Amino acid sequence: MSPLEKPREGTQSASRRLIRPGLLPTIFCTGCGGGTVLNCFCRAVDELALDPRRMVMVTGIGCSSWIPSPYFLADTLHTTHGRAIAFASGVRVMQPAMKVVVIAGDGDLSGIGGNHLIHAARRNIDLTVIMVNNAIYGMTGGQVAPTTPEDVPTTTTPHGNVEPPFDVASLVAAAGGTFVARWTTYHVFDLVKAFKAALAHKGFSFVEVVSQCTTSYGKAVGMRRAAEFLADYKARSLRLSKAATLSAEELEGKITVGTLRNVAKPEFRERLHAQVARVSDPGSARQGPEPIPPGAVNPPGPPAGVARGLGGENVALRFAGFGGQGVVKAGEILGLAACAEGRRALQNQSYGSSARGGLCTADVTLGPDEIFEIEPDAFDVLVLLSQDSCGAFLHQLRAGGVLIYDRDLVKLPEGNGLRAHGIPATKIAAEELGRKVVTNMVVLGFCAAITEVLPRAALERAIVANVPKGTEELNLRAFAAGFAHAAS
Amino acid sequence: MSARAAQLSTLAGARRFMLGDEAAAFGALFAGCSFFGGYPITPASEIAEAMARELPRVGGYYVQFEDELASISAVIGAAWAGARSLTATSGPGFSLMQESIGYAAMTETPCVVIDVQRSGPCTGQATKPAQGDLQQARWGTHGDHEIIALSPWSVQECFDLTLDAFALAERYRSPVILLMDGAVGHLREPLLFPTFREEMLAPRRRARPGELHFGGEPVPPMAQIGDGLDVHITGSTHRPNGIRDVNSEPVHDELVRRLCAKISDAREALTRVEHRHLEDARVAVVSFGATARPALGAVEAARRRGTRAGFLRLVRLWPFPGPALARLLGRVEKVLVPEMNLGQLNRELERVLDCEVVPLSKIGGVAHAQEEILEPLLEALR
């Protein structure tokens, strides 16, 4: 233990008690504002009588992230560059009882991590974020930051900065932060008060501390001593109330200080936890994945369709049409029924925009055997519901396979020699059932009757389980109409 | 009974027809997953959707973040605050997560990342499957590290291996990658649910006061945020007490060698391969994930023709099971490697096998058909 750290009975300052033993002196440059921020923060924690064991410090990468890491004596998560708020959000959700505090720099929070900053503010997640704004990337040696004033020469703007800086406190207030304040390292008493208010606030609280970097920024602007910076901050600072009376020109070069926003709004973590408590209550209604109809699971057996000369042990079917015809739903119900019957079953479908408008397919393989083809390209049964699908897929029908098509929508090539079964499915759905939307069930019924690929009762149970509540009867009638058409 | 046990016990023995993505989500629920941070992306969005629906019902928290950078970061933060945590993404998102996956490796954070691989590079064929992230899973983040990665080939295995992934993450205090592919993620097949038991929940070994939690043994116990141990967690080089020390060569050397060794030394224990007909095989087809399905079909078809074809698939990809493969494939003359990329597994096999290794790469977004593997297999057996 160095002499600096030797505890003196009765005279120990708040900072000394709240600092991890064995680490002083800090690595900060002479005159750095980081020490002032650490001191003011310790004072705020002490005055609020917060237990540091109930606090988590989360930081990013940069000099300012080293203010709490490793010095502040609490659980500390020193994260990747820019992501401190995101890491802190995960901690906050899982640790409702602890104070979660982010201390990081302007580059970390408003540059590389800017997206997390505005979204955390939008969520109003209960975090206290202290942004130490020294207007430069200090740790990497003085490169321009999103907060660097215009015209300042830095190592990466050697001819002067041609970008305007962010007003980060205003940005956070606009994004939804519910407590937002800005002070400078000159305003130490106001800083302690702001930190206390932020720590006591429920919701996203943000304190911007305009702070001196005597090394990198000092070099850029020709000020090497902390006292020069503090005098400058004193001279340029304006209370918000005073600033409100001035014009934009008069505010040029000024630092407006004070509390920009302090409102009460619903907090994210509380809302999320309340929702989870409600949903996980055993009394709440369960809506799981589509249930398999009870009692429908039988021992595996060969598909009945084999008897009708479908060939092979496994049967591959493709339903094809355009998006909106319910092609995917028909495939799902067939697969569900097979699964309930204890068959092996595999179903695949088209994804993306084509499934919602263009060419659309749903493939189902049923069988007693292991299914190896996960994306079959030859089918025992092909169901075509559009002329486009006929053009695209007719060649995929295996020799001796069964073709089913909508007679009104698909014109088959002449002299094709296919085992083709046509049905005016769309017309039956529209005219006999009054709802074109059940075309898929008419086709499924027809297909079931022609191929005998699965027992009728199994498919009917799967329909009931898989169509929207209240439409079961309509869908079953459509299935029956298709089934009956096969006999006509 | 916990909300989780109450919900999951209703599924005991149930057979459901579901997507691979959904099966993975349910595997996570059975493993005790209590936090999911995600961002939508095809073909992994169905995992997020299933978690958003089901996780709150077992008392867990789902948060959709502003991007994948935030998702993986929050997942790691949640893990340190006590969660069994998960994110799911696809290639582009997986690329964005790489820096923080390195953070998880460096800080020994147990968490699970599911990558449902799609066709790349870049946006590629966004809705089409691929297996092009095999090497990204291994080498995606910078610096020396080891990783554990698993690869399911069926909907059932999407469930089983997710359960496995959570247990391994805790056992080795490491991020674990479940490397699915779009073909398996978007497949519907029957899933048989096991009976939920508390032992399925991935157990976490916790540090007692005074114990080192970043060194002292290959896999140190974990001190969580909130345990009152003033834990200091950093992605920078750190001493066994967690305090940053970025200037000492021995500290870095000892830390990074231990992080690598805790996984590479367990290579044999971590090996999971499945094989058929290797006893007398002259030519073996070696594959993983969805591609292993038509690969096995081709081998079985070749066997029916009286040939000496063999099959092997890697259930766990990383750490690479080189010694086991060398033993199992030591007598074959030739290995064929179907995969949905331009030779990423092939490259590893060339490294560990003495026999001829022939790529059967296929890209373009369509899985291999059995015939596309059978033909070269029969040719090789001639």
Shortest alpha-carbon distance between residue B59 and chain A (Å): 5
pLDDT at B337: 98
Q: Is some CB atom of chain B closer than 8 A to the CB atom of A156?
A: no
Token pair in block for residue B161: 């291996």
Whole-number Å distance between alpha carbons of A255 and A246 = 13
What is the number of domains present in chain A?
2
Whole-number Å distance between alpha carbons of A219 and B356 = 63
Locate the chain A residue with the closest alpha carbon to B233: A77
Of A248, A272, A296, the domain-final residue: A272
pLDDT at A340: 84
The residue type of A308 is R
pLDDT at A354: 56
Shared domain for A370 and A229, answered yes or no, is: no
Alpha carbon A244 to chain centroid, angstroms: 38
Chain A positions touching B232 (Cβ under 8 A) are: 20, 69-70, 75-76, 78
Q: Which ranges constitute the DSSP H helices of chain B?
A: 3-9, 20-31, 45-54, 68-80, 91-107, 134-139, 155-172, 182-185, 249-264, 267-270, 292-304, 322-328, 344-352, 370-381
Q: What is the DSSP letter of A449?
A: H
**Residues 217-236, chain B, touching A (beta carbon < 8 A):** 225-236
Summarised one tens digit per residue, pLDDT across range A452-472 is: 989 999 999 999 988 889 999
Beta carbons within 10 angstroms of residue A374's beta carbon: 28
pLDDT at A296: 40
Order of strands, sheet of A55-59, starting from the edge strand that comes earlier in the sequence: A237-239, A255-262, A179-184, A205-210, A128-133, A99-105, A55-59, A75-78, B232-234
Chain B positions touching A359 (Cβ under 8 A) are: none
Which CATH number is A161's domain given?
A: 3.40.50.970
Residue A308: its H or E element: none
Chain A positions touching B35 (Cβ under 8 A) are: 90, 93-94
Token pair in block for residue B300: 């079985």
Order of strands, sheet of A344-349, starting from the edge strand that comes earlier in the sequence: A419-423, A397-406, A379-384, A315-322, A359-367, A344-349, B188-192, B15-19
Locate the chain B residue with the closest alpha carbon to A56: B225
Residue pair A178/A127 in contact by the 8 Å Cβ criterion? no
Q: Is some CB atom of chain A closer than 8 A to the CB atom of B152?
A: no
CATH 3.40.50.1820 fits B275-381, yes or no: no
**Residues 299-358, chain B, touching A (beta carbon < 8 A):** 300
Shared domain for A340 and A453, answered yes or no, is: yes
Shared domain for A326 and A230, answered yes or no, is: no
- Write down the CATH superfamily of domain B3-196: Thiamin diphosphate (ThDP)-binding fold, Pyr/PP domains (3.40.50.970)
Shortest alpha-carbon distance between residue A439 and chain B (Å): 23
Stretches in chain A below the pLDDT threshold 70: 1-12, 284-312, 352-357
Which CATH number is A331's domain given?
A: 3.40.920.10
Q: Is some CB atom of chain B closer than 8 A to the CB atom of A232?
A: no
Residue pair B286/B324 in contact by the 8 Å Cβ criterion? no
Q: What is the DSSP letter of B62?
A: E
Summarised one tens digit per residue, pLDDT across range B261-294 is: 999 999 999 999 999 999 999 999 999 999 999 9
R_g over Cα of chain B: 21
Q: Is some CB atom of chain A closer than 8 A to the CB atom of B7?
A: yes
pLDDT at A341: 83
Chain B positions touching A101 (Cβ under 8 A) are: none
Collapsed DSSP state (helix, strand, coil) of residue B351: helix
Locate the chain A residue with the closest alpha carbon to B85: A90
Shared domain for A99 and A167, answered yes or no, is: yes
Q: Is some CB atom of chain B closer than 8 A to the CB atom of A281?
A: yes
Q: Please say whether the dihedral angle defined by the alpha carbons of residues A73, A79, A84 and A90, taken in this order, is positive or negative.
A: negative
Residue pair A423/A446 in contact by the 8 Å Cβ criterion? yes
Beta carbons of B293 and A93 less than 8 Å apart: no
Torsion angle (degrees, nearest 10) of CA A175, A178, A184, A190: 170
Q: Is some CB atom of chain A closer than 8 A to the CB atom of B63?
A: yes
Alpha carbon B163 to chain centroid, angstroms: 11
Shortest alpha-carbon distance between residue B259 and chain A (Å): 18
Written as one string, the DSSP assignment of A370-424 is ----SS-SSEEEEEE-SHHHHHHHGGGEEEEEEEEEETTT--PPTT---EEEEE-
Beta carbons of B70 and A371 less than 8 Å apart: no
Whole-number Å distance between alpha carbons of A215 and A217 = 6
**Residues 169-188, chain A, touching B (beta carbon < 8 A):** none
Token pair in block for residue A260: 């920009």
Chain A positions touching B78 (Cβ under 8 A) are: 90-91, 93-94
Segments forming the whole domain that contains residue A146: 11-272
pLDDT at A97: 94
Query: Strand pairing partners for A371?
Result: none
Residue pair A433/A469 in contact by the 8 Å Cβ criterion? no
Locate the chain B residue with the closest alpha carbon to A334: B17
Summarised one tens digit per residue, pLDDT across range B77-110 is: 999 999 999 999 999 999 999 999 999 999 999 9
pLDDT at A457: 93
- Please report whether residue A56 resides in a domain: yes
Chain A positions touching B74 (Cβ under 8 A) are: 86-87, 89-90, 93
Shared domain for A111 and A237, answered yes or no, is: yes
Whole-number Å distance between alpha carbons of A252 and A203 = 32
Beta carbons of A332 and B226 less than 8 Å apart: no
Collapsed DSSP state (helix, strand, coil) of residue A323: coil
Whole-number Å distance between alpha carbons of B374 and A307 = 28
Written as one string, the DSSP assignment of B198-236 is GGGSPP-PBPPTT--SSSSSSS--BPPTTSSS--EEESS
Query: Strand pairing partners for A284?
Result: none
Token pair in block for residue B223: 């001190």
Q: Which residue has the higher pLDDT, B36 or A16?
A: B36
- Pairing type for strands A344-349 and A237-239 reads unpaired
Domain positions in chain B: 3-196, 275-381
Nearest beta carbon to residue B81 from set A94, A346, A372: A94
Q: Establish, for the pair of chains A and B, how many residue pairs have beta carbons separated by less than 8 Å.
A: 229
**Residues 410-429, chain A, touching B (beta carbon < 8 A):** none
Token pair in block for residue B131: 């297996």
Interface pTM (ipTM) of the complex?
Answer: 0.97
The residue type of A6 is K
pLDDT at A352: 62
Shared domain for A68 and A193, answered yes or no, is: yes
Locate the chain A residue with the closest alpha carbon to B41: A352
Same fold, B3-196 and B275-381: yes
Whole-number Å distance between alpha carbons of A310 and A124 = 61
Beta carbons of B294 and A377 less than 8 Å apart: no
Shortest alpha-carbon distance between residue A363 and chain B (Å): 10
Nearest beta carbon to residue B58 from set A75, A280, A348: A280
Of all residues in chain A, what percent carry a pLDDT higher than 90? Answer: 79
Shared domain for A149 and A101, answered yes or no, is: yes
Shared domain for A483 and A338, answered yes or no, is: yes
Q: Which ranges constitute the DSSP H helices of A48-181?
A: 84-94, 106, 114-123, 168-175
Whole-number Å distance between alpha carbons of A68 and A4 = 19
Alpha carbon A72 to chain centroid, angstroms: 31
Shared domain for A32 and A167, answered yes or no, is: yes
Q: Which residues contact B203 (CB under 8 A, 6 or more apart)?
A: B167, B170
Beta carbons of A95 and B226 less than 8 Å apart: yes
Q: Which ranges constitute the DSSP H helices of A265-370?
A: 268-279, 327-340
Beta carbons of B127 and A351 less than 8 Å apart: yes
Nearest beta carbon to residue B293 from set A82, A115, A374: A374
Beta carbons of B15 and A340 less than 8 Å apart: yes
A370: closest CA among B186, B294, B130, B152? Answer: B294
